[in-house]
Amino acid sequence: MASGVEELLDMLFEMIDEAKNAPLSSDKCIVERDRALDLIDDIRSQFPMELTEARKMMARRAEMEAEAKRKADSIVRAADERAKQMLAADTIALQARQRANDMMRQAEERSRELKRSANEYCEDALRRTEEAVSEAYNEIKQSRSRFRAAAAATAGGAPAGRGAAPQPGASGGSPRSVYDADRD
């Protein structure tokens, strides 16, 4: 007995192909009825099994296609997610670079401001020092003038000027009794 529908159909085909022609007809033949009917019954009985197998194969094929589609969708989703992560990472890196540039610009600005402030402070401190030194110098000059005038008044009435010779014996016998800054 044949195992599949195709084999049974092949056997039926061979039987008809090898059958003797009917008398006075080239398109009709004489077939052994019982044998032909047995083959047709076998085909009918095999059909449900073949159809069941075909349906199982179609279902399995559909499952495989669905699984392949799920895997493909999963791969696409993963690729999309990875692309989003990479884009987010690029965005974060860009933001970090921008933030770093902003920080550098602010630091440079702050540095320039500090230098300017330091220069202004130094300039102001030097100006005040110069004014204080100038005032002190003027005070010293005035004090010297007063001292000379006072010294001249106590030494005999003549003002001690430049080039005036000290008087020996005056004020304790010291040869130089009045301080003269020009001589020092």
Q: What does the pLDDT look like over 55-111, one tens digit per residue?
A: 889 999 999 999 999 999 999 999 999 998 888 889 989 999 999 999 999 999 999
Average pLDDT over residues 51-56: 84
CB within 8 Å of 12: residues ≥ 6 apart: 36, 39, 40, 43
pLDDT (tens digit, 9 = 90+) per residue, 114-157?
A: 999 999 999 998 999 989 899 988 999 999 999 899 888 887 65
Phi, psi of 29 (to 5 degrees): -140, 170
The domain ranges of the chain are: 5-133
> What distance separates the 2 farthest-apart alpha carbons in the chain?
188
Q: Look at residue 29 and give its three-state secondary structure.
A: strand
12/6 Cα distance (integer angstroms) = 10
pTM: 0.36
Instruction: Identify the three-state secondary structure at position 30.
Output: strand
Residue-wise pLDDT for 162-174, tens only, equals 544 455 444 444 4
